[in-house]
């Protein structure tokens, strides 16, 4: 069954289908075809990515992929090549419905065997209802949803409050980006608690979007959404401000108001007659003030200086292909205050002025202090041109690089700064360049950029020239697994459950090697007790929890405890009772209907998303009918049994003397993980299959793989 997930807030659409063993399409002969039709899609701007998985493809037995589109299901475009990154998608009108056909064609010289299609997916872009007119009040009719953006780029040092100026109550969510809109945070409900506790990097540029919905029955006028704090307006040359609003004026509700007709009355129209401003001294009129001589009014001179610089650069400058890099948040080192990973995010042509029109040569320079193979050079690029090409939010930076076509050479930016000359105004950037070197920590952001870099740097490194020998050296290295002894338990206070041995496999992936047998402990007594948990939970804190479990003998009336962090009607706990997983949050119970069998390993995931006031529960198993066949699977994709999402009221508690526990019952459990953030659904398959948590360890509170503690004899000192 085709699954279509549209998200107008993010402007994304995902179309996917996973075939069961009984419905898997088979291509049994050369030139046989299989076509999938996807009908009546709405608001689609483009389809950007394509993925599919098969069994049976070899060097002589292949598949070709094609697609076509229509707006009425009758008149179709030509069949177009369908690649992983779709760059040939036609221009379409998002107001028209869209029909898409995908076609697989078997080719090759081998007529034997069968190619089976296991799954496929398409990722696309939707048109969002974006309101960018920030000069007037926004009117939202009942059930309307819009996306609002701030008109400027900011740096954020702190956020202390939020202010919504509207004539009624609106449902507002926010998300932000700190890498020039390449990636965005998850949508969260706009509350003071959420926005003031959001971790924002103060040295990265900040962009924010609001999703505003009128769920009421009356029309609501929205004047502004203000974030109160400490900011710099980067678009206005780092102008200091204490407010971010969707209106440039950032009017505050403290002095402005809405009248009985829903019209906003600004502070400029409020009564100011309460203070006597009369004076006996002679007063200058506004015209008199304008006619006064201002020695610092040099806008005309600056505009002329900028115009001459831009024109001279366009006439005498050298045309270069400029590759712009951006730090990757995954490589951010807070201790050393540096970025370790960079992405080449975009490239474009511009002109640069080379000082004295002098290029360095490649001669070796040797003296008593140093051996240098390359002399640095300096180029200038005007701020006006750079902003026109790459946008007002971007700046030249270290790790950028330039390709000079005329001399067929690449140089790397070693240092970049604004050069302030006339009246302390920066007209251009001064870039100090050095010889370009390919670096492993600088990665191309798109396939197109990667292809351009490969074309420019082909056969220019030792690794490329001796690629075969390097591969042989890598294959000769044996990475043997190492196991560290566990003599000090940093997670558990104690455990009474017996630890059993079982190799739990999923295809070639080892999920776990051991488990807790909770049946060895008396029913509802403590089987495992953990330590070092944060005793308090606030209304803006999220939680993610997961474990694998296997029930020995299922009795519906009995309670099978997944976790217990509860005392005196505070905290949270999870139990399986009467075919329901019951999550209790501060005395409120949320049920999740499930149907489990005995002697089956299931993976349970719980997300308590307080920032968005949702609770999510998921139940997975290995994609086999018989547990002993799990190691023979061709992939480790888990089968989702069921899922559920409900609204919750955020909770908070403080339990200093309470321990996180798991109670005894007739079941086995392993791979217990607790996170201080929700587990995104797209990461479930990866997290559930991991024996050791790696990339997501920064969100990890604890991970317990049910491993024995090694007890060694203790010997007295100096004996």
CATH label of the domain that carries residue 29: 2.60.120
> Looking at per-residue confidence, does 242 or 76 come out higher?
76
Give the Cβ contact number of residue 146 at 10 Å.
Answer: 17
Q: Is the pLDDT of residue 296 over 80?
A: no
**Domain for residue 640, yes or no?**
yes
What is the pLDDT averaged over residues 480-484? 36
Give residue 249's pLDDT.
Answer: 53
Q: Rounded CA gap, 125 and 139, in Å?
A: 26
**320-324, 327-331, 338-342, 406-410 — which one is most confidently predicted on average?**
320-324
**Domain for residue 359, yes or no?**
yes
Query: Could you tell me which residues come within 8 angstroms of residue 165 by beta carbon, excluding any fewer than 6 positions away?
Result: 222, 223, 224, 225, 226, 251, 252, 253, 256, 264
Residues in the chain: 719
**Domain for residue 298, yes or no?**
no
The b-or-e profile of 59-88 (16+ CB within 10 A means b, else e) is: eebebebbbbbbeeeeeeeeeeebeeebee
> Looking at per-residue confidence, does 517 or 441 come out higher?
517
Query: Could you tell me which residues come within 8 angstroms of residue 248 by beta carbon, excluding any fewer than 6 positions away?
Result: 134, 135, 151, 152
Query: What CATH number has the domain bearing residue 517?
Result: 2.60.120.200
**Domain for residue 76, yes or no?**
yes
Q: Which two tokens mark 64?
A: 């070709």
What is the pLDDT averaged over residues 88-104? 93
Give residue 250's pLDDT.
Answer: 46
What is the pLDDT averaged over residues 97-124? 94
pLDDT per residue as tens digits for the range 683-714:
999 999 999 887 777 788 889 999 887 666 66
For residues 140 and 122, state if they share a domain: no
For residues 106 and 245, state if they share a domain: no
Give the Cβ contact number of residue 116 at 10 Å.
Answer: 17
For residues 534 and 622, state if they share a domain: yes
Q: Rounded CA gap, 128 and 15, in Å?
A: 18
Q: Is the pLDDT of residue 719 over 70?
A: no
Give residue 478's pLDDT.
Answer: 42
What is the pLDDT averaged over residues 67-95? 93
Which among 526, 560, 543 has a CA at the least distance from the CA of 661?
A: 526
pLDDT-derived band of residue 151, with 50, 70 and 90 as boundaries? confident
> Looking at per-residue confidence, does 514 or 478 come out higher?
514
Domain count, the chain: 4
Please, what is the average pLDDT of the chain? 85
pLDDT-derived band of residue 479, with 50, 70 and 90 as boundaries? very low
- Of 76, 94, 126, the one marking the end of a domain is 126
- Of 94, 126, 158, the one marking the end of a domain is 126
For residues 164 and 182, state if they share a domain: yes
% residues pLDDT > 70 (the chain): 85
**Domain for residue 232, yes or no?**
yes
For residues 538 and 650, state if they share a domain: yes
**Domain for residue 474, yes or no?**
no
For residues 441 and 520, state if they share a domain: no
Give residue 395's pLDDT.
Answer: 86
For residues 505 and 623, state if they share a domain: yes
For residues 649 and 563, state if they share a domain: yes
What is the pLDDT averaged over residues 86-90? 92
pLDDT per residue as tens digits for the range 645-669:
999 999 999 988 889 999 999 999 9
The b-or-e profile of 634-664 (16+ CB within 10 A means b, else e) is: eebbbebbeeeeeebebbebebeebbbbbbb
For residues 48 and 97, state if they share a domain: yes
**Domain for residue 716, yes or no?**
no
Give the domain range for residue 185: 130-266
**Domain for residue 293, yes or no?**
no
What is the pLDDT averaged over residues 174-185? 89
What is the pLDDT averaged over residues 554-576? 94
Q: Is the pLDDT of residue 620 over 90?
A: yes
Q: Is the pLDDT of residue 121 over 60?
A: yes
What is the pLDDT averaged over residues 40-47? 93
Alpha helices by DSSP H, listed for 402-536, are 447-457, 462-465, 467-475
Q: Is the pLDDT of residue 254 over 50?
A: no
pLDDT per residue as tens digits for the range 189-198:
999 999 999 9
For residues 20 and 118, state if they share a domain: yes
For residues 413 and 331, state if they share a domain: yes
For residues 93 and 216, state if they share a domain: no
What is the pLDDT averaged over residues 192-221? 91
Give residue 67's pLDDT.
Answer: 96
Predicted model pTM? 0.68
- Of 220, 249, 266, the one marking the end of a domain is 266
Give residue 278's pLDDT.
Answer: 58
């Amino acid at each position: 069954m085709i699954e279509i997930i549209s998200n107008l807030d993010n402007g994304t659409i995902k179309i996917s289908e996973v075939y069961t063993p009984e419905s898997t399409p088979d291509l049994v002969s050369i030139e046989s075809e299989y076509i999938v039709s996807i009908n009546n899609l709405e608001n689609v701007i483009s389809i950007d990515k394509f993925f599919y998985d098969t069994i049976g493809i070899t060097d002589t037995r292949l598949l070709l992929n094609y697609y076509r589109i229509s707006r009425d299901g009758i008149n179709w475009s030509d069949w177009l090549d369908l690649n992983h990154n779709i760059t040939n998608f036609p221009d379409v009108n998002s107001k028209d419905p869209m029909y898409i056909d995908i076609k697989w064609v078997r080719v090759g010289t081998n007529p034997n065997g069968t190619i089976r299609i296991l799954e496929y997916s398409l990722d696309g872009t939707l048109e969002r209802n974006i309101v960018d007119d920030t000069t007037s009040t926004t009117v939202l009719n009942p059930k309307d949803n819009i996306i609002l953006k701030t008109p400027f780029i900011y740096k954020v040092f702190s956020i202390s409050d939020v202010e919504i100026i509207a004539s009624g109550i609106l449902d507002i969510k926010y998300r932000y980006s700190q890498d020039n809109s390449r990636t965005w945070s998850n949508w969260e409900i706009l509350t003071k608690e959420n926005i003031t506790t959001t971790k924002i990097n103060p040295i990265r540029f900040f962009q924010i979007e609001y999703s505003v919905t009128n769920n009421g029955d009356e029309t609501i006028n929205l004047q502004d959404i203000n974030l109160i704090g400490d900011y710099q307006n980067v678009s206005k040359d780092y102008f200091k401000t204490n407010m971010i609003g969707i209106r440039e004026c950032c009017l505050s509700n403290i002095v402005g108001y809405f009248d009985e007709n829903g019209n906003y009355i600004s502070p400029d129209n409020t009564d100011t007659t309460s203070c006597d401003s009369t004076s006996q001294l002679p007063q200058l009129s506004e015209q008199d003030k304008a006619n006064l001589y201002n020695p610092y009014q040099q806008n005309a001179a600056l505009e002329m200086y900028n115009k001459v610089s831009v024109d001279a650069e366009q006439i005498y400058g050298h045309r270069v292909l400029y590759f712009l890099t951006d730090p990757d948040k995954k490589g951010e080192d807070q201790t050393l205050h540096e970025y370790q990973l960079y992405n080449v995010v975009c490239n474009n042509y511009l002109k640069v002025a080379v000082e004295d029109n002098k290029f360095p040569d490649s001669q070796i320079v040797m003296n008593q202090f140093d051996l240098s193979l390359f002399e640095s050079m300096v180029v200038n690029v005007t701020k006006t041109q750079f902003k026109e090409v790459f946008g007002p939010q971007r700046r030249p930076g270290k790790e950028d690089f330039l390709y000079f076509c005329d001399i067929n050479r690449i140089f790397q930016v070693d240092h970049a700064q604004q050069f302030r000359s006339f009246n302390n105004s920066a007209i251009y950037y001064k870039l100090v360049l050095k010889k370009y070197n390919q670096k492993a920590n600088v990665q191309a952001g798109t396939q197109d950029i990667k292809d351009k870099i490969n074309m420019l740097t082909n056969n220019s490194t030792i690794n490329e020239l001796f690629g075969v020998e390097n591969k042989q050296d890598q294959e000769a290295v044996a990475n043997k697994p190492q196991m560290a002894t566990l003599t000090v338990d940093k997670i558990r206070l104690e455990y009474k459950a017996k630890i059993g041995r079982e190799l739990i496999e999923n295809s070639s992936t080892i999920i776990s090697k051991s488990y807790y047998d909770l049946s060895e402990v008396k029913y509802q007594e403590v089987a495992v007790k953990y330590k070092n948990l944060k005793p308090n939970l606030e209304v803006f804190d999220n939680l993610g929890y997961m474990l694998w479990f296997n029930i020995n003998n299922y009795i519906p009336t009995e309670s099978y405890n997944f976790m217990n962090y509860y005392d005196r009607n505070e905290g949270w706990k999870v139990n399986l009772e009467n075919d329901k997983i019951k999550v209790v949050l501060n005395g409120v119970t949320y049920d999740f209907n499930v149907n489990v069998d005995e002697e089956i390993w299931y993976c349970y995931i719980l997300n308590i998303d307080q920032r968005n006031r949702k609770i999510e529960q998921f139940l997975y198993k290995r994609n086999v009918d018989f547990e002993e066949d799990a190691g023979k699977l061709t992939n480790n994709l888990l089968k989702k049994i069921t899922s559920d999402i409900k609204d919750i009221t955020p909770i908070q508690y403080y339990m200093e003397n309470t321990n996180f526990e798991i109670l005894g019952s007739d079941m086995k459990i392993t791979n217990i993980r607790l996170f201080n953030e929700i587990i995104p659904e797209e990461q479930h398959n990866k997290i559930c299959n991991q024996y050791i948590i790696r990339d997501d360890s920064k969100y990890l509170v604890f991970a317990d793989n049910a491993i024995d503690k090694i007890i060694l004899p203790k010997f007295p000192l100096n004996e």
